[in-house]
Structure 1
Amino acid sequence: MSPYPEQGAVIFPIRPPYILGETACGYTLRLVEANGYDWRRSTFASRGIRMKDLTHGTTSALARILDPAIVERIDWFTPRASETGGVILCGEAFQPSQILYDRQRFCVGCWADDSGRSYGSSRRPLHLRGWWSVAALISCPLHAIRLLDRCAECSRTNRIGQASCTSCMCGADLARVARIEVPSSTLAAERYVVGRLGGLPRIFDPVLDGLPLGDAVNLMQRLGCCLTAGRDVRFGRLPTERRSEMMLAGYHAIQRGPEGVEEALELLLAAPGRLDQLRVQIGQLYCWFSRLPKGRLQSWMAERIANVVRRHRISWQGWDRHVGSSPVPDRISASQAKLLFGSGWERTVAVLEAAGLRCELQDRCRPTVDRRQVQMLAKRLETLVDVNALAKRVGITPASVRKLVEAEILPLDPLGQTASAFPRFDPAAVEAILGKMAGRAPFVASPPKGSACLAAAARSVGIVPLCRALLEGRLAPIGQLEAGPGFKRIFVPTTGIVEACRVRELPQVTLSEAGRILRMRQYGLALIAGTGLIPVGENSRGRRVLDRRDVEQFGSRFVSTTELARSRSTSARAILSRLTAAGCRPAIELAVRGQIEIRLFDRSCEIYLKTPQMKARERSAPSDIQGRYPV
């Protein structure tokens, strides 16, 4: 018979009977083999009918040569595209990625059963099963052996249409491949899937039975991945061999009912994780869940997630649009608090931690905070003012406000410092300081005679000495107005104000004040303090301070070339040259990155800078003093 008969003639005179459960490509391969062809030399291939069309359920070529009832059975057991973009196999809906089209998998045990059964007067032929193309099935639940797709002789992947049903391109018999046995106890999920596809007696499950089989497989695999793969492992990077293990773990969790699914999610939330991040597995589960079409699976999973969120009070944003109302209406996440504060993420987290609202951070991921407390905190932050607003409010300049802050008279708000990069003040705290300054001064309708407001008095004695004198009781106000800016409504007497505000020498000085005492730049003084030549401490605000006696003692021992040059009306370079020529070496020399920044000499070096006239004047000075002031 010619392999290419004319169109309209009988193409295949031998028609092997159809075996229930056989796919379109499997029957077609048996059909062409029964008529003495292989696939490449068959009439289907010569007419442009591809094996890919048959594997995807296009059976129009078979409809011209077979009975319509047989073609309908073939369509039932062959994966075919649905109108919704999915795949239908044995009446069950799958996603295209869940079906293997090109790879021909087989079970040696099933073929052994075919060989041992009679089919009419002859032996039942070996054939392909439709459920072998489901990617989630790694093993055959009927015989507890692994499904194979490679030739044991050449290790080539078996492709549909490259050879016959049971032989490889190299000629090896695939039915004689050695079996790879798997424990029967690990095939519960496979039994459920094959049972729904008609290959085994069906196993009923109240949760999975209400879902399309593709969604049920996805649910089992996703939950199993959460239970077995670890909390920070990505599902797509796991090897295919582990899918069976994951599907089994998910199947057992679903068998326990909704509680089993919720416990699977809670296991990933139990251990501490990264700041404000869901576990990778939960994130992947949500990504899969969010892409689900509206239906029973989506609403069922949304209810499970809502229960977990409610019990753990966590923030899992995005899924809440799938439920009627939020299970934690009195809680919000840090991201939602950020919108209330109007600040960035890091500052929002810092404010919540400073306010003590995120104490559970180490116990669970994505913690939520009390909505009412956050709203109250946001209102409090709105009442804080900056330097310019405070200066206008109290009636002084912004520079005076900064001086009072540096002198620790006006307090900075701790939450304001955390929430903003600029100083923030609580008006109530500032008014309390002004109330202490006013003391028991009586309220007057107009300024008393011989008095000046604090803003005016500060111009003569300084804002810091004036405020300290008022707070320490060395100066008492004589009246205050009922309204007006704080520093303009308190009045002090103009007489005796200078004596009362005279600055006392404090035992501790800041770096800037110590620099003025030593006539040295603050940068250079910081280098000296860093080496330990002058002991450094901290005040109540955490600022570095120096002991006044240590500073004065240091200044009495050492002198810089700049100070020597100023006292002699010359340049520092000239002073350094004269000291070097006299063989006087620096007592302290500090370098930064190879460049000398600090060079100090002992004060005894001044003897090398005296001119002959100065030395002669010093020799004659004692006799003049004795003659002028007799002892």
Structure 2
Amino acid sequence: MDKPIRGFSALGGLPLRVRPVPFEPAYGLLGRVAVRHGHTSTSEFISEMAIGIPNFVHEIENGRRLVELALLSGVPETRIRASTLCVDENGAMFIGSELISARVSNRISCGAGRICPGCLRVDLKECAGPMACRPHRRTWWGLTAVTSCPLHGLLLIDACPACGVQLARGQASPRFCRCGCDLADQGSVSLEPADLVADRYLVGRLGGVDRVGHPLLDRMPFQTAALAMLRIGRVTLAGARGLSKKGDNVEPAMQARMASLGFRTSESSR
């Protein structure tokens, strides 16, 4: 666990706070704090505040300096850590108590600041606090294993529908693209319920929806289970040809379909 930089706590908390919300990763919380102080970019906000920690935004995005973020935001460090992808002293990756991977891998985290427009609309309608600070990121939006929102049945959006630019994590609010497009007003590709099974299982392991047990996958780390579903589904769909394909990069809707097929196949074969 990080130790705060000497003298950092003397800065105290920031003058304006945001309400804690479930399943928000550290970089999402920092973004909402930036929005609360009138900024659209987390890096610009940190630069103006003269925090004094080199690469602070990068550190937060990689699950470090959570103690300092807790001091700044007023949100308990344990709560931030529970929804943030972190690496322990043994090199294992966790989100809260959920083991994501037994070793560090750069394939687990998605570089884009993906969003679900359905979730953003719910945030605006149901969350408390200033309207600008209501939309918030979910920890599973940043995981490559998850491609859809099982709550709304939509593919996650990784690029702005208006300008085509990849959405960035450094954009303080998940609601807006840098071009000004309101992502809460946008649509996304709807998936059939059968193709949401894998993401529902994975998000359930993180507590975002009701958890569905699986006697085989439950014994695996999160990322291993995700890859197992995808590969079993690919072979089931394509036969022996599926084994010859290199890598696991497939179009998001197809990834959701293959992984869901893999979940059902491995469940029925136990």
Q: Indicate whether the TM-score tops 0.5.
A: yes
Q: Secondary structure at the match of 1:229?
A: helix
> Which segments of 5 or more consecutive residues in structure 2 lack a partner in the other structure?
1-7
Provide the residue aligned with 1:141 in structure 2.
150
Provide the residue aligned with 1:92 in structure 2.
98
From 208, 214, 217, give the equivalent of 1:205.
Answer: 214
From 82, 86, 99, give the equivalent of 2:88.
Answer: 82
Q: Counterpart of 1:12 in structure 2: which amino acid?
A: L
| Deviations 1:9-41, CA, capped at 9 Å, x for gaps | 556200112112111111111112212234233
1:236 matched to 2:247? The reply is yes
From 39, 42, 48, give the equivalent of 2:42.
Answer: 39
* Pairwise CA distance, 1:195: 0.8
Provide the residue aligned with 1:358 in structure 2.
none
Q: Secondary structure at the match of 1:42?
A: helix
Q: Counterpart of 2:46 in structure 1: which amino acid?
A: T
Provide the residue aligned with 1:65 in structure 2.
72
From 41, 47, 56, give the equivalent of 1:50.
Answer: 56
CA gap of 1:163–1:14, structure 2 versus 1, over 3 A, is closer
Provide the residue aligned with 1:247 in structure 2.
259
Root-mean-square deviation (Å): 2.5
**After TM superposition, what 4+ stretches of structure 1 lie above 3 angstroms from structure 2?**
7-11, 43-46, 120-124
From 166, 173, 181, give the equivalent of 2:175.
Answer: 166
* Pairwise CA distance, 1:51: 2.2
- Alignment partners' CA distance in 2, 1:25 and 1:61: 13
Count matched residues. 251
TM-score after normalising by structure 2? 0.83
Q: Counterpart of 1:50 in structure 2: which amino acid?
A: F
- Alignment partners' CA distance in 1, 2:55 and 2:106: 24
1:25 matched to 2:12? The reply is no
Do the aligned residues in 2 keep the contact of 1:18 with 1:70 (CA within 8 Å)? Answer: no
* Pairwise CA distance, 1:85: 2.7
* Pairwise CA distance, 1:86: 3.2
CA gap of 1:36–1:226, structure 2 versus 1, over 3 A, is same
Provide the residue aligned with 1:181 in structure 2.
190
CA gap of 1:32–1:84, structure 2 versus 1, over 3 A, is same
Q: Secondary structure at the match of 1:17?
A: coil
Q: Structure 2 matches for 1:607-622, cutoff 5 A?
A: none
- Alignment partners' CA distance in 2, 1:124 and 1:50: 21
Provide the residue aligned with 2:227 in structure 1.
218
- Alignment partners' CA distance in 2, 1:163 and 1:29: 4
- Compare 166-175 and 41-50 and name the one that shifted more: 41-50
Provide the residue aligned with 1:108 in structure 2.
117
Do the aligned residues in 2 keep the contact of 1:90 with 1:198 (CA within 8 Å)? Answer: no
Provide the residue aligned with 2:3 in structure 1.
none
* Pairwise CA distance, 1:52: 2.1
Do the aligned residues in 2 keep the contact of 1:191 with 1:200 (CA within 8 Å)? Answer: yes
- Alignment partners' CA distance in 2, 1:126 and 1:257: 41
Provide the residue aligned with 2:4 in structure 1.
none
Q: Secondary structure at the match of 1:179?
A: coil
- Alignment partners' CA distance in 1, 2:164 and 2:13: 35
Q: Secondary structure at the match of 1:94?
A: strand
Do the aligned residues in 2 keep the contact of 1:151 with 1:168 (CA within 8 Å)? Answer: yes
Ranked by relative contact order (alpha carbons within 8 Å, sequence separation 6 or more), the top structure is 2
- Alignment partners' CA distance in 2, 1:105 and 1:64: 27
| Deviations 1:225-279, CA, capped at 9 Å, x for gaps | 2212342331416524332222112111111133xxxxxxxxxxxxxxxxxxxxx
> Which segments of 5 or more consecutive residues in structure 1 lack a partner in the other structure?
1-6, 259-631
Q: Structure 2 matches for 1:5-16, cutoff 5 A?
A: 8-9=10-11, 12-16=14-18
Provide the residue aligned with 1:405 in structure 2.
none
Q: Counterpart of 2:59 in structure 1: which amino acid?
A: D
CA gap of 1:130–1:108, structure 2 versus 1, over 3 A, is same
* Pairwise CA distance, 1:134: 1.8
* Pairwise CA distance, 1:174: 1.7
* Pairwise CA distance, 1:163: 4.9
* Pairwise CA distance, 1:177: 1.6
CA gap of 1:238–1:99, structure 2 versus 1, over 3 A, is closer
- Alignment partners' CA distance in 2, 1:238 and 1:131: 18
CA gap of 1:132–1:237, structure 2 versus 1, over 3 A, is closer
Q: Counterpart of 1:250 in structure 2: which amino acid?
A: G
Q: Secondary structure at the match of 1:41?
A: helix
Q: Structure 2 matches for 1:491-570, cutoff 5 A?
A: none
CA gap of 1:215–1:235, structure 2 versus 1, over 3 A, is same
- Alignment partners' CA distance in 2, 1:220 and 1:237: 11
* Pairwise CA distance, 1:50: 3.2
Q: Secondary structure at the match of 1:106?
A: coil
* Pairwise CA distance, 1:97: 4.1
Identity between Structure 1 and Structure 2 (%):
28
Q: Structure 2 matches for 1:289-300, cutoff 5 A?
A: none
| Deviations 1:270-324, CA, capped at 9 Å, x for gaps | xxxxxxxxxxxxxxxxxxxxxxxxxxxxxxxxxxxxxxxxxxxxxxxxxxxxxxx
